[in-house]
Structure 1
Amino acid sequence: MTILFLTDNFPPEFNAPASRTFEHCREWVKAGHKVTVITCFPNFPMGKVYEGYKNKLYSKETMDGINVIRVWTFIAPNKGAVKRSLDFLSFAFSSFIAGLFVKCDVIIATSPQFFTALSGFFLSFFKRRKWIMEVRDLWPESIQAVNAIKTSSIIRALEKLELFLYRQADRLVVVTDSFKENISSRGISPDKIVVIKNGVETSRFQPRSKNQDILRQLNLQRDFVIGYIGTHGLAHGLDFIVKTAKKITDNDIRFLFIGDGAEKNNLIRRTRELGLENFIFLDPVPKNQVPDYLSVLDVALVPLRKSSTFENVIPSKIFETAAMNKPIFLGLKGETQKIITQYHAGVCFEPEDETDFLEKLSVLRRNITTGEVDYAEGCRNLARDYDRRKLAGDMLKAIIEVAPARAN
């Protein structure tokens, strides 16, 4: 089978969408299928093209057997509605043009944002191929949750586009059970919706001793380290963590934030205003170094802003941290909370609730320090059940059901 995959995030970008797409496509190639990915030149999240790349009209490369086509886009940082919209629209147009010249049996387009899926729809129409829409977020609902767009007419237009694409897709692949419930409640047949959750590449993320070089470099040898690795965006609620940290009385608790995003400079400025000396901010690290930095953590922090919308999501970072036997300190209700509780892989606090955050942090720290509670077995079981290779195989079955291989 030949698969054409449209995505605006792909390695060397290191966010969750890029990892999911790359790891799935790589497994499909190993299974004997031909995969072509159309993407843009790597620039997420700061809107700056990575070293070694140039934003040009078209280029081709191969990554682990995957044919990668990169196309020109209007590149903008991950902030600002107008520029981001131009970014999205330009990729939709460029990916559509490039996709016309790629032979395939089936087309997959991943969202958010929906303009990539729109490109998939038009390619399906002109190439007369089935297409699958992967829904990684309920967009535009998630935009409203962070007040990124406040104009009601724009939101209504995006909602109409959303439902149109759901109806036109031959299959929907969603990443949570909640997403399936949400979409099916809006008139979309549940029979066309398949849940393929996020997961972890367990061959890469495994328990290991703390990296002593990193501990020495950051002067964390004697500290209890709470770490966050990922995008510092509006949705992640990291400003709440900074504000609440002012009330922590334990002097040996340190926060290690690794990544970039629209809110990072604001977070750094806020820690200085509050006189906080227990925060370390680092730039993003390459994907292959993430396990080393995860190894130095005592607790992996996974917060999101308080919103009913986010109760439907499952942050992919819980799987990687669990695979390394790192207890998860989760600030999120809903489906993710159920997973952490079910597997006993950490402790959950009420999102953006200072009192509950401080109380639960004290409990978690005591359990880890005294060994009173062991979270390692729960983490191992969680990672085993969400192994990326298995999930990639499940998605491949869903693809083949929709579009068996055909002669081109």
Structure 2
Amino acid sequence: MKILFVSQYYPPESNAPANRVSEMAKEWVRIGHEVTVLTTFPNHPEGKIYPGHKNGRPQVEERDGVRVVRVPVYIAANKGILRRSLAYLSFSISAAIFGTYRIERPDVVIATSPQLLVGVAGAWLSARFRRPFVLEIRDLWPDSIVAVGALREGHPALRMLRRIEHWLYRRADAVAVVTETFKEILQQRGVTPERIAFLPNGVDDELFHPRELPNDPTGENDPHPGKFVVTFAGTIGMAHGLKTVLEAAELLKDDPVVQFLVVGDGAERAQLEAKVAEMRLTNVQFKGRVPRSAVAGILRRTDASLVMLRPSPVFETVLPSKMFEAMGTATPILLGVDGEARRLLERADAGIHFPPGDARALVVAIQRLRNDRDETARLGKNGLAYTLANYERRRIAAGYEGLLREIASPTEQHTPTNVVVGGG
């Protein structure tokens, strides 16, 4: 089967959308499919083209057996609604134009959010090639734009985006969602249940499975010897509410043991670093963007993984991929997200929940883990066992592949059964 995946993000970018697309694509190649990813030149989140790439003519490369077609776009850092919108729109247009003659006719077309304009390019290419179309919803866009305050209800641009959203739901032969709550919301918005497939995020067992750390009697490989390290690893964006981390660090500034580590880059990093300097916090360190392969090693040396989002009903519908990465390395989670993420954490018994935005509650949770290392280890082991039983990426990819086979079959009417993978 020839699969076309349209995604604005792809490695060497290391955000959640890039990782999910890459891991699915590699697995499908492994089992014998031809996968092409239509994407742009890597630039997220700084808005700077990575070394070895140039934002010009379309470029074709191969990564892990996946054919990657990169097309030019307007480049913007991950901040500022106008510039980001132009970047999103330019990719949709560029992917539709260049994809028309740079892509061999596929058997099925997938377009993945979070930004929904990618779906427009996917729908166009699906019509152009006369092939079925799968719309993958990883974020409730444009709801999340409102949640971070980038647009207000009633704004003309928001009304236009909602019309595009509903058109794409009608146009897609199948809609793949990553949470059960998304599934419920889409049904309320008119998507029939038989066209919705639940295909959650998961963990790459080969990359994130906990491994024994090398013997290190001198402590040379441990950047924080004797510390209880709380790590946030991922995009430092508007949605994550990392101001709460600084407030917690302020409350713990006289504690010689607790150390906060923020790994990644994004729109809010410079502002947060300036605030750390202003507050004279010595217990917060920023590491910057690292390769995805390095994240697993960092988490293995971490005592607790911090997963948080700003307080908003929209974010109660999501399952952050950071949860699966933490559980995959047997790292207990400090979770500042309500809704579906909290329910998963409690089912897995893999960490401690605190109310989003509540720095004092975060401090209490940190102190609880710091003072009970047996409990810390137990929660980490629980998370590992649960995620391998329910959210192993290879099994999710197999379920996804079954959906694609079903709707790509020329003898079918492109009405998939309701695929459900994960979430035990």
TM-score (norm 2): 0.92
The equivalent residue for 1:178 is 181
Which residue matches 2:233?
229
Give the drift of 1:213.
10
Post-superposition shift, 1:354?
Answer: 2.8
The match for 2:399 among 374, 394, 399 is 394
Q: Aligned ranges for residues 144-163 of structure 1 at < 5 Å?
A: 144-150=146-152, 152-163=155-166
> What is aligned with 1:115?
117
Matches of residues 57-76 of structure 1 in structure 2 within 5 Å?
A: 57-76=57-76
- Per-residue deviation, 1:405: 6.6
SS of residue paired to 1:56: coil
CA distance in 1, matches of 2:217, 2:2: 45
Q: Report the secondary structure of 2:255's partner residue.
A: coil
Cα-to-partner distance string for 1:120-155 (whole Å, 9 max, x where unaligned): 111122221110000010000000000012362211
Amino acid at match of 2:92: A
Offset from partner CA, 1:243-297 (integer Å, 9 cap, x none): 2321125221000111000000111111112121101101111112222211221
Aligned to 2:42: 42
Tell me if structure 2 keeps the 8 A contact 1:111–1:137.
Answer: yes
Alignment partner, residue 366 of structure 2 = 361
Could you tell me how far apart the structure 1 residues matched to 2:195 and 2:48 are?
Answer: 38
Query: In structure 1, what is the Cα distance between the partners aligned to 2:219 and 2:77?
Result: 32
Q: Which residue of 1 aligns with 2:91?
A: 91
Alignment of 1:128-139 (within 5 A): 128-139=130-141
Give the Cα–Cα distance (whole angstroms) in 1 for the partners of residues 262 and 376 of structure 2: 27
Cα separation, 1, equivalents of 2:404 and 2:327: 29
| Equivalent position of 1:290 in the other structure | 295
CA spacing shift, 1:373–1:47, aligned 2, 3 Å? closer
- Whichever residue aligns with residue 113 of structure 1, its letter is Q
Q: Are 2:332 and 2:376, in contact at CA under 8 Å, matched by a contact in 1?
A: no
Structure 2 runs not aligned, ≥5 long: 412-424
Q: Label 1:9 to 1:229 Cα distance change in 2 as closer, same or farther (>3 A).
A: same
Identity of aligned residues (%): 40
Letter of the 2:196 counterpart: I
Matched, 1:318 2:323: yes
Q: Which stretch of structure 1 is more off in the superposition, 34-43 or 370-379?
A: 370-379
Q: Who is 2:379 aligned against?
A: 375
1:99 deviates by: 2.0
Deviation string for 1:285-343 (max 9, x for gaps)?
11122222112210001011011100000010111111111101100111111111111
Which amino acid is the alignment partner of residue 106 of structure 1?
A: V
Name 2:143's counterpart in structure 1: 141
CA contact (8 A) 2:55 2:73 kept: yes
What is aligned with 1:307? 312
State the match for 2:77 in structure 1: 77
Q: Once the two structures are superposed, what CA deviation does each residue of 1:179-226 show, in whole Å capped at 9, x if it has no partner? A: 011111112111101010001110111213457599647741011100
In 1, the alpha carbon distance for the partners of 2:231 and 2:147 equals 25
Structure 1: state its 5+ residue gaps: none
Comparing 57-66 with 205-214, greater Cα deviation is found at 205-214
Q: Which residue of 2 aligns with 1:124?
A: 126
Q: 1:305 to 1:371 in 2, by over 3 A?
A: closer
Instruction: Pick closer, same or farther for the CA change 1:259–1:405 going to 2, 3 Å.
Output: farther
Question: How many aligned residue pairs are there?
Answer: 405
Are 1:207 and 2:244 counterparts? no
How big is each residue's C-alpha offset from its partner over 1:52-92, in whole Å with a ceiling of 9 and x where there is no partner? 11111211011111111000011110111111111111111
**Matched residue, 2:415:** none
Q: For the residues of structure 2 that align with 1:219 and 1:394, how far apart are their CA atoms?
A: 40
Greater shift in the superposed pair: 136-145 or 153-162: 153-162
